[in-house]
Amino acid sequence: MIVVDDLHKHFGGFHAVDGASLEIAQGSITGLIGPNGAGKTTLFNVIAGVLKPTSGRVSMAGEEITGLPPHELFHKGLLRTFQIAHEFSSMTCRENLMMVPGDQLGETLWNTWFGRKRIADQERALRAKADEVLEFLTVEHLADHKAGQISGGQKKLLELGRTMMVDARIVFLDEVGAGVNRTLLNTIGDAIIRLNKERGYTFVVIEHDMDFIGRLCNPVICMAEGKVLAEGTLAEIKANEHVIEAYLGTGLKNKDKVGA
C-alpha cells in the first residue's frame, strides 16, 4: 500500500528521519513505536505532505506521492491525525467534522449561488453523518460546543472522528489514545478494528501504550534515531535486543529525552 524508500528529513544539521525504509501492507493495522524523538511524527508529516522530505521517496499503491500537498493526498484517501490535537476553534464540534470532506462537495462558485437545493441535501447528509460519528465516539453532547473549548482528550476524539467522516484508504493515527481514558481507549481500539474489517481501512498507529499496540497491531515497526530498528510481531519486537536497548529496556535512559 505505502512504500517508503530511504527517506531523510533534516532540520538544519539534525537528522530527524535518517534513511527510513518501510512498507505498509494493504489492509493491515501497523504499529509504529519508538522512543520520544525517534522521528515517528516527522515520518508521518513527510508521508502526509506536511513536510517536504530532504530526500527519498514515498509511494502509495504503486503511485509516487512524494511531496504532494496534503489536500491532494486527502483526496487520494490518505488521512492523518495530529499528535497535538488541532481544531477549528471558532466552530462547533459538529461543524468541525462537517468541514472534513474539504472541497469535494458542490464547491464551485456557480453551485454556491445556483445549486442551493443540491447543496442543502448534501449538507443534511453530512450533518447526519457528523452526528453519527459523534455518537459513536460517545461525545454527542458536545455537538454544539465550540471545539476550542472542549478538553484535550475530547479533542483527540474529534481528531479520530475526522477520519471517519469520509471513506479513507489509509489512516495515520498519531497517539490518538494519549490523554484518553481507559474505557474510551478500548472503544477507540474497537472502532479501529471495525473500520479495518468492515471498511477495509489500512491503519498506521503510533502509540506508546504497549497493551493497545499488542491488541491491535500486526506487524509492529520500531524506530529509533530516525531509522527503522526492527519489524515483526509485538512479541518478536519485544524480544529484539536492539529494541530493548533503545526503547523498551529499563526505560530510564529515555526519560530524559523530550518529545515533540
Partner 1 sequence: MDFLNAIIALLNFVVVPAMAYGSQLALGALGVTLIYGILRFSNFAHGDTMAFGAMVTVLFTWLFQSWGISLGPLPTALLALPLGILGCMGLLLATDRVVYRFYREQKAKPVILVIVSLGVTFIMNGIVRFIIGPDDQRFADGERFIVSARTFKELTGLREGLAIKTTQGITVITAVVVVALLFWFLNRTRTGKSMRAYSDNEDLALLSGINPERVVMITWLIVAGLATIAGVLYGLDKSFKPFTYFQLLLPIFASAIVGGLGNPIGAIAGGFVIAFSEVTVTYAWKKVLTYLMPESLEPSGLVQLLSTDYKLAVSFLILLIVLLFKPTGLFKGKAV
Binding residues for ligand ATP (CB under 6 A):
11, 14, 16, 34, 36-42, 83, 259-260
- Nearer CB in complex with partner 1: 3/50: 50
Q: Reading across the β-sheet that carries 63-64, which strands appear in turn?
A: 14-24, 2-11, 55-60, 63-64
Torsion, Cα of 37, 39, 40, 42 (10° steps): 120
Q: Is 83 in the site for Mg ion (CB under 5 A)?
A: yes
Instruction: Label residue 91 exposed, middle or buried (CB < 10 Å: 0-12, 13-18, 19+).
Output: middle
Residue 88 binds which one of Mg ion, partner 1, ligand ATP, none, with CB within 5 to 8 A depending on kind?
Answer: partner 1
Closest CA to 19 of 253, 224, 247: 224
Give the residue closest to ligand ATP by C-beta.
Answer: 259
Residue nearest to Mg ion (CB): 41
Q: Does the protein bind Mg ion through residue 42 (CB under 5 A)?
A: no
Cell digits of residue 244:
530493548
Binding partner of 3, given ligand ATP, Mg ion, partner 1, none, CB within 5-8 angstroms per partner class: none
Taking CB under 5 A as the rule, does residue 254 contact Mg ion? Answer: no
Instruction: Please give the single-letter amino acid code of residue 137.
Output: L
- Smallest distance from partner 1 to CB 122, Å: 9
Q: Does 41 bind Mg ion (CB under 5 A)?
A: yes
Sign of the four-CA dihedral 16, 86, 219, 28: negative
Q: In what order do the strands lie in the sheet with 78-80?
A: 78-80, 170-174, 202-206, 29-33, 220-224, 227-232
Residue 93 or 207: which CB sits closer to Mg ion?
A: 207
| Contact partner, 50, from ligand ATP, Mg ion, partner 1, none, Cβ < 5-8 Å per class | partner 1
Total residues contacting Mg ion (rule CB under 5 A)? 3
Q: Sort 218 into a burial class: Cβ within 10 Å, 0-12 / 13-18 / 19+.
A: middle
Binding site residues, partner 1, CB under 8 A: 48-50, 69-71, 74-75, 79-80, 82, 86-91, 95, 99-107, 109, 112, 119, 123, 162, 166
Q: How far is the CB of 183 from ligand ATP (least distance, A)?
A: 24
If we measure between CA atoms, which residue out of 174, 17, 157 comes closest to residue 80?
A: 174
- Of 166 and 210, nearer to partner 1 (C-beta) is 166
d(CA 108, CA 99): 16
Nearer to partner 1, 204 or 213 (CB): 204
Which residues bind to Mg ion, rule: CB under 5 A?
Answer: 40-41, 83
